[in-house]
Amino acid sequence: MAQLDVDISANLAEVRLCIAAAALRVGRDPDEVTLVAVSKTIDAARVRAAYAAGQRHFGENRVQEAEGKIGALADLADIHWHLVGHLQTNKVRPALGLFQLIESVDSVHLAEAISRQALVQERVAHILLEVNVAGEPSKYGFRPAELPDAAARIAGLPGIALRGLMTVAPAVADPEEVRPVFRTLRGLRDDLQQQVPESRWAHLSMGMTEDFEVAVEEGATIVRIGRAIFGPRA
């Protein structure tokens, strides 16, 4: 398996340097940006190698895959898990026990299911709202126009801590092409800070392997990077 030959530590160092450089180009503190290593399809041993290299935040796409992996790494007490893929309502119960941040809340219906289960489990669910900025039919997320009303409804749900927005930009050859997507998400967040002030709109999760430097320049506080760290997926 070629992935085993990847120098995860060196890749992490390179990604961190690129994040820092992008932040400094626009006068930001690099420490404002959290790197989430997306570990979907990546085995626990390679996650452990990334952890040994100082990585603490990891992202998974599927609850079922994450359950076994997170269990196998339960001895890593300060590891933080993000759910970055679509969450089905029938997976909410286990998801709340696995993830510190659910980044992919894409409907009021899903938020209501999370709220109900959070009350059952006597916990607070920290979430981001996923926005389909580019209007791609193949992707989940709120449309920008429906976001203010949806955010106001979700902010009032018990057991929910609304922490910001997330988006997945279109796949393009030149990352400059998606700069307007990231800029739009930042503008939506800024508007929501005024429209729904009872929530903390601290986070913009945007940017992946192909475009994270542009995302950082546009205000990302979370970037989700997989291949640049772990190599091509099997």
> In the chain, which ranges are continuous DSSP H helix?
8-25, 44-52, 63-72, 92-98, 108-121, 147-155, 179-195, 212-217, 227-230
Instruction: Assess whether pLDDT exceeds 50 at residue 100.
Output: yes
* Range of the structural domain that residue 57 is part of: 2-230
Per-residue pLDDT tens over the stretch 130-164: 999 999 999 999 999 999 999 999 999 999 999 99
* Domain CATH for 174: 3.20.20.10
Q: Are 129 and 165 in contact (CB under 8 A)?
A: yes
**pLDDT value, residue 233:** 80
Identify the CA nearest to 37 among candidates 12, 14, 13.
12
| Segment holding 224, helix H or strand E | strand 222-225
Per-residue confidence at 1, pLDDT binned at 50, 70, 90? very low
Give me the number of domains the chain comprises. 1
Task: Read off the pLDDT of residues 8-37 as tens digits, 9 standing for 90 and up.
Answer: 999 999 999 999 999 999 999 999 999 999
Residue 123 has pLDDT above 70, yes or no: yes
pTM of the model: 0.96
Percent of the chain with pLDDT over 70: 98
Length of the chain as a residue count: 234
In the prediction, which pLDDT does 4 show? 56
At residue 227, the pLDDT reads 96
